[in-house]
Amino acid sequence: MTSRPLLTVVLAAGKGTRMKSALPKVLHRVGGLSLLGHVLRTVGALGASRTAVVIAPQMDDVRAEVAKRLPSAEVFVQEQQLGTAHAVLSARPAIVGHQGDVLVAFGDTPLILPETLQSLLDCLNDDTPVAVLGFEAADPTGYGRLLQDADGNVVAIREHKDATEAERAVTFCCSGVMAFRGPRLLELLDAIGTNNAQREYYLTDAVAIARSKGYRVAAISCPEEEVLGVNSRNQLAEAEAVFQRRFREKVMAEGATLVAPETVWFSYDTVVGRDVMIEPNVFFGPGVTIEDEVIIHANCHFEGACLRRGAEIGPFARLRPGADIGPKSKIGNFVEVKNVVVEEGAKANHLSYLGDGRVGAGANIGAGTIFCNYDGFFKHKTEIGPGAFVGSNTALVAPVTVGAGAYIGSGSVITKNVPADALALERNEQTVREGWAAKFRAMMQRRKAGKH
């Protein structure tokens, strides 16, 4: 999106002690993706030529997340946490010699939009080398205030602890996200001191320093929810709620029906086609694709699955990674599918487990059928041919193949391959003892009466 070379510095060294977690704050998830992952996706959408991520010592898991989400990013370690300006200077090797713009973002603000960051960058020019992203706070307590002159230029950012009573009455607050013309950044950062209540190097002090040098400082505003920083479990839940609301609105705007939108939960990468119908209480984990005209009944759970055009799922179905449900096929109530391709028009309507295998086009899987795929050491595959009919309460002990058009009698345990168009039946011969039940009841009633 940006036309000038862009370096984005993402600050991700915070430990998040208020999260009460052994997991670094930026690795907590919203919509199935880490907070840091959301930020890296956003800055990636800007077309950043370089991205630098600043982490704390011994944050190998954060380093791994950066490598997974944006392999081209450089990682720098802030050895001591001495403030935001100090954190940015930890990426000095990336900043030195950079001739474009520099964007400073935070790894714990997952809701910020690429177009907002682009608008911030668009404020920069030779006379305005600094731009600040602000918001109108419902409760400004604790936020740095953006102090402006009559022309709307920012003259200073005052941290709450250092603000006067008059300055604390200001509701236009600083998000911490800032943009700079690269050649000016080190000049400003190196002039920042620690004359504040926390004795830290505040990045926001760059504003007053820029003004003292005769530069203009611009500010733009965005909705408060967009710059929500996650520092606690409550704020994590708030961020999740905003993410889900946005995603639901997007899905419906693109042609899907959500019967009860507030009960459907999406992941960051869920793909939903047109004319899809989703009933209440449905959860999508990462890696789910839903093609057009799919019907999803209530109370289903999906992860790593693909639902092809016109498939019908649920209610109470669970599709796990590798489930590939073919066009116009049916996975019904209390059916679990894992790593199975279900081809066009096949059906598993009730109470079955299908794990590791393939169900051919038009095949029918009866209630209570189980693919016995695991021997305690290895997974094995079950192959069901097109048009096969598997009777209820069948156990298919993999590896096993049922040929096209074959029939399996109900209650069978199938351990050998079944040829096409054959009947396989494995059960003991039924015996009937006339009058046995009546005699048994009478005996038990006499026994029970004798105990009183």
Residues in the chain, overall count: 452
Q: Which residue has the tokens 């199935």?
A: 32
Distance between CA atoms of residues 135 and 145, nearest Å: 10
Q: How far is CA 18 from the centre of its chain?
A: 22
Question: Tokens for 105?
Answer: 């973002």
Distance between CA atoms of residues 393 and 38, nearest Å: 45
Among candidate residues 201, 238, 202, 236, the one with its CA nearest the CA of residue 18? 236
Contact 61, 16 (CB under 8 A): no
Contact 405, 422 (CB under 8 A): no
CB atoms within 10 A of CB 170: 17
Backbone phi, psi, residue 201, to 5°: -90, 100
Distance between CA atoms of residues 217 and 441, nearest Å: 93
End-to-end CA distance of the chain: 88
Contact 246, 228 (CB under 8 A): no
Q: Which residue has the tokens 């003259």?
A: 155
CA dist 136 → 221, 222, 404 (Å): 7, 8, 66
The catalytic position among 86, 98, 160, 350 is 350
Q: Which residue has the tokens 């351990």?
A: 415
Contact 178, 131 (CB under 8 A): yes
Distance between CA atoms of residues 275 and 379, nearest Å: 37
Question: Tokens for 206?
Answer: 């760059």
Is residue 98 annotated as part of the catalytic site, yes or no? no
Distance between CA atoms of residues 435 and 200, nearest Å: 91
Q: Quick check: helix, strand or coil at residue 110? A: coil
* CB-based contacts of 321, cutoff 8 Å, min separation 6: 287, 303, 304, 305, 338, 339
Q: What is the widest separation between alpha-carbon atoms in the chain? A: 106
Amino acid at 119: S
Q: Quick check: helix, strand or coil at residue 186? A: helix
Contact 188, 210 (CB under 8 A): yes
Residues acting as catalytic residues = 350
